[in-house]
A and B are shown apart, each in its own frame.
Chain A
């Protein structure tokens, strides 16, 4: 029979682990948090990337898209023969006004056709529930999942829609999703509103018949061959479709849903790698400090082991096992945390991003790299301490450490010693004698503060985004969009609708902007020069007025095009007479949402060679008459879209704010764990280093309170120094994250804003962590063994 006998050294390891359990658990918790956050973000990132790739392939998401006014179906064959084109799918896409049961305001449906028989060649739909529409049925629709959820619609439900000027009842036969609409957002609105905007899939014949589009299409999707040049296909498509009223062909990079997912993936990457990287670095840094100091306090034991003939290697391995076990426990804590948070996050993502399935999964490479980072940092910290211990001859290591070399502090040397009590001098000299150690402790606490600040950044950013967008920019109550551009006198008609107080017309025109070799598709928004319902506001609340001549561009758009004020852009209008002209870039605004170009309404009308024309109006309304207004608007065929600001804000808060809050709560939770772990360890180690000295003072008649002042005073001083440093580091982290996110995404900008509440929050949490640690140490001070301390040192 083989019996396994634990070596004495391993038994010592187990006892050391048990003896140091509080500290090691705190370190393991920090490691767990670091690894947990990293794995959560990394797993979500990898899932999104994989799911998107799979979904796009399986459901044949197209590569190039275009919308035209009306083109003959025969053109599809010609498109198919263009070099680089692998498949073509034409269809009809229209916005219709809906009257959904239970919804006060009118909603908008994006009507999209599906082939009469068989699946589409491209952009196939995935039916979640129910069935597809019957061939030739004129009243059956599939609806998008988000719209169905927001309005409690199921197969068998019905609502009404304005189909070619007439109200018609539509029956929901199924709930569907499509790779084209993973994220559903109305193109003219910057923010999602699943309640009032949804996708309706309908049979091609029914739509052709209802909208007088027989034998015609108004949108086309193209898949490219393997080595095709997207730019070449886009330009040949443009040449072909320009005379059919093309809005300009574009690739996936400009596809609304894909762009938003790409931005999200990018944000996850930034968070996954930057934010959780910081978490991990902090965790690693703390392990480093703790182990260094821990091993330093075991100096005499190392001496004894060496005296008994254990080699440096064996002694080192013994302590490394302590490190490894701690890391193992930390990793083991991190994995379930990541599972829990990852699934929570995936749940939220499923509300925004509609994939056939979206699950969080553990990333094995992420796990390995996170563990490796912690391991390297921990071993690095332990290595230094072990080398110091190994260098000592055993006889010397066993002796009590000689009294440290102290000298009067700078303050005392400057002649202020009379102002300081003896205990204050002890505190100051301790700090000054080992400035690096003190600095590292301060840095550890400062990093905890920094993570708290950075963790709450999301709350501040969200408040600022809401305030800028819904208070400073969108000053209207309702935005009306007309089915077609209308002459200026529509303004009077709008004024006469019930409940309208003021109305300001606007004009939005799709354009291509070119500068040198660079080109972007966007829309120019023409606003009343003396209007007040829509303002152009920068991230710092700087209200920018419209230039009397030329264009005002989003800073992001100017950057993409490489233009500065004073340059002249080529503007190709993509509707009406499709004029091309040179326009001055008059100014740049660092705005919040999208890549926009602004002009005064008369200037835009002039550019479009049209009389005073508007495509919609911003209105302020009398809230008491809103129901009446919405009822009227539902029945008004000239109004295609109605965006109610209050409803959008409520929806935004409910959906986006919820997800941001969950992430923020997670960040804050981990930051608190780290803050507590750092502060507690710092005090705990100080106690083990100075327990002897403190017990001596107790023997001399010092009360527990008096020695607590000495020990905790030092910690309090370090915490006080760490807080402002942590504020600065936290600000730096946020600035880095904001810069990394804003550099790559166009959908919106993160404002760099940290409020006093955030700093106060970080201050309070760290103070509470410090106070709790102090209370736990207080208990230990009471149990300080006064007798033992007199016999030996350490």
Chain B
């Protein structure tokens, strides 16, 4: 399985923020969730991948090519959706099709109208008169209609209602089914990622905390809820992060503590992605 996207030691500094030596790879046929709190550096990273901003250091490869030197054919295979509508608001569904069929050689008009119908997007009104959710859906349809191999999505599910989010997630699963297509998907809604992501990449304060297989992430970690006295007895080398609460301590630990917790009758459970993210961000590491 080769990598469709490779990010190596990428750094970018601003006056009050710095993305530091971020490295990870997205294999073909996978969905990668990019998580982190607001201001963590997700959008900076996506803008760097898309060559919208110039990185200070490192290299980024898309389809094995330097991201700043993508060929026209390579760009045909890249679909991007931002967290806001970027399509001209005065155009309707048909006009959008008329524009993009002249931009993408691989534009599939039949597919376009079929997804429009599937997503229940009103086709008679202009983009500007649509709800925010429908606007994002049209952007997603455009990205899917030219048969991309890599979809880069920046916080798009936040604008969708729960039913539509489910439909969109089903489309994502279908998209990666042929094991050639991949998705890099930044989202605050970690439950979406629990449903579809194969890999989770976590960025905090411009630094990469981890980039790993989602199942391993959830299987290899425990969320321990215990009293302070119990926490004091735990082997701290297995504790990733913890937070003191009024009624005890919540700790994220390696599952090597599982047997100890079972023996000592300490409460533990499998953590959610959100719990991992919050503990690492706000807890003591």
Q: Do A and B come from one complex?
A: no
